[in-house]
Amino acid sequence: MVKSVNFVVLGEQSIANDFGKKGTVTDLTLFDRKESDIIQTWIVPSGFPDKIQPLFQAINLAEYVIFYFGSLDKFSGEQIVALDLLKKREGIISHTYEVDENRLSSMIKGTVLERYKRVNSSDIKQQINKLEPISKEGKTKIVIDHSFDVKGVGTVVLGKVVQGKVKQYDNLKLLPSKKDVMIKSIQMHDDPVDEAISPARVGLSLKGVSVDDISRGDYLCEDDSEKILSEIEIDFTQNPFYKGDLLENQMCLVSLGLQIKPGKFSSIKPFKIKLEKPLVCEGETVIILKPESQTIRILGSGKIQ
């Protein structure tokens, strides 16, 4: 069985060119490489820093972080805050000669990045190869990050098997729409396979849905037992760097996993958000974003109550 390891590449994104072959290019750019029975994938939030949404989506797709600092600026700070809020504890840090080591240590003090392994840039590849696949057992759950209409094939999605495994001809539910879907075929690294296990990146040919039915962040699951919410209440903690007021009816973006949904604050105490589109409720941290802000774009975070 082919195993998979997924990395997010932050900081100087261009280093991903040294790791694998470039594949899909959107606001997320994917690189991959297969050696013996392991496929390594590197996810680059290429739409960042222009947009903050791809940063959170790329981090959520990865088990491991590679952070190559080329400078220490407000965007470095945003990436550090994002990793800390999402509790990404496994990673590698490296930096160029221009970066001040003491200032970097000061910026990551008290965050999950303090635990990352620091390496010279020439040793990054060697360290990457030491990182083991992390599989999650349980009911089948696949998160979708891209979807296409392929001539002669139909609806094709790219995504990650977050939990469990997927087999050809499986019948699954697309959430949050609850549409019935059948897996016609599976590809890994452009090769057809009969099944794939977590945390594999997969290309799936689907029967029962069109591209118009699918959004990034949707899930393919064994059943529709996952909670689907159109309003959420969270135990909100404000980002200490965000000094603005939070007011009822203020608009925001809600980031949960790969799902990013517009909403507005329906209440501040308790902290409730009315969503424009339903959200599949996972046990992960909800991040509240204000992408149009010229200063701080991460308002804070919390868990769904």
Confidence of residue 247 (pLDDT cuts 50, 70, 90): very high
pLDDT, tens only, 218-240: 999 999 889 999 999 999 999 99
The amino acid occupying position 199 is: P
Q: What angle do CA 31, 35, 41 make, to 5 degrees?
A: 25
Model pLDDT, residue 36: 85
pLDDT above 80 (res 283): no
Can you list the domains of the chain with their CATH numbers?
3-128 (3.40.50.300), 141-221 (2.40.30.10), 227-302 (2.40.30.10)
Over residues 132-143, the pLDDT tens digits come to 999 999 999 999
Convert the pLDDT of each residue in 204-217 to its tens digit.
999 999 999 999 99
Q: Which burial class, exposed, middle or buried, applies to 86 when counting CB atoms under 10 A from its CB (0-12, 13-18, 19+)?
A: buried
214 with 147: CB under 8 angstroms? yes
Peptide bond into 240 cis (omega under 30): no
* Residue 92 near residue 127 (C-beta atoms within 8 A): yes
Owner of token pair 């550090």: 80
Q: How far does CA 283 lie from the centroid of its chain?
A: 15
Q: How many helices (H) and strands (E) does the chain have?
A: 4, 23
Any residues with CB less than 8 A from the CB of 155 and at least 6 apart, and which? 147, 148, 149, 205, 206, 207, 209, 210, 211, 214
223 burial via Cβ count (<10 Å: 0-12, 13-18, 19+): exposed
Per-residue model confidence (pLDDT) at position 282: 74
CA distance 37 to 158: 20
pLDDT value, residue 231: 96
Confidence class of residue 85 from pLDDT cuts 50, 70 and 90?
very high
> Residue 248 class from Cβ within 10 Å (0-12 exposed, 13-18 middle, 19+ buried)?
exposed
Closest alpha carbon to 76 in 37, 98, 49: 49
- With a CB cutoff of 8 Å and minimum separation 6, the contacts of 152 are none
> What pLDDT is stored for residue 244 in this prediction?
87
How much of the chain, in percent, has pLDDT values that exceed 70? 100
